Amino acid sequence: MRKEVMIDASKCNGCLSCTVACSAAHIPSGDPLEALLTGEPSRIAVYSVHGKAVPITCRHCDEPACVNACMAGAMQKNAESGRVKNENTGHDCIGCWMCVMACPYGVINQREKEGRSVAVKCDGCVGRSVPACVESCPNGALTYGPVNEYAETKQRQAAASQVA
């Protein structure tokens, strides 16, 4: 069963541990300080909405608009894992930004790579059993598991709130 990063914004305090861990997970050394100093972009963002911290990351859509919009074929969805990524796919991002315009969540950013701007987005932390953002979250605002398990937990919480 496919696992997803699920977000409970009510538990997020805006500490940005997830963004630092994400950046560090995408450099060879894995060092958070080096990631900050080199400007490695995070693939998760935390926004303030009406004074509340809200994490936003790629939803790895079943029918991703970013993949359909990518003229270079760099943005691809792995049929087995369900992850959408554009790095190490055999095609290079050409920086046309069609994926950015097509993404309904606005989670594709840009970074400088070898002297040119390319798209960068969450890849689900390929090679890790749990994405770095989830592993680093001190409040449990980010969890990783099957969607139905997350839904069951939310249902139990909603039911408990009705009798409390």
Task: Determine phi and psi for 36, rounding to 5 degrees.
Answer: -65, -45
Q: Which of 2, 111, 119, 104 is nearest to 56 (CA)?
A: 104
Q: What CATH architecture applies to the domain 60-121?
A: 2-Layer Sandwich (3.30)
- How is residue 87 written in tokens? 């790095």
> pLDDT tens, 69-110?
999 999 999 998 899 999 889 999 999 999 999 999 999 999
> What residue segments make up the domains of the chain, in order of their start?
1-58+123-163, 60-121
Q: What CATH architecture applies to the domain 1-58+123-163?
A: 2-Layer Sandwich (3.30)
**Residue 7 burial by CB count (10 A; 0-12/13-18/19+): exposed, middle or buried?**
buried
Query: Which pLDDT belongs to residue 1?
Result: 80
The answer to whether domain 1-58+123-163 and domain 60-121 are alike in fold is yes
Cα separation, 21 vs 113, whole angstroms: 20
Mean pLDDT, the chain, rounded, equals: 94
pTM for this one? 0.90
> pLDDT tens, 49-76?
999 999 999 999 999 999 999 999 999 9
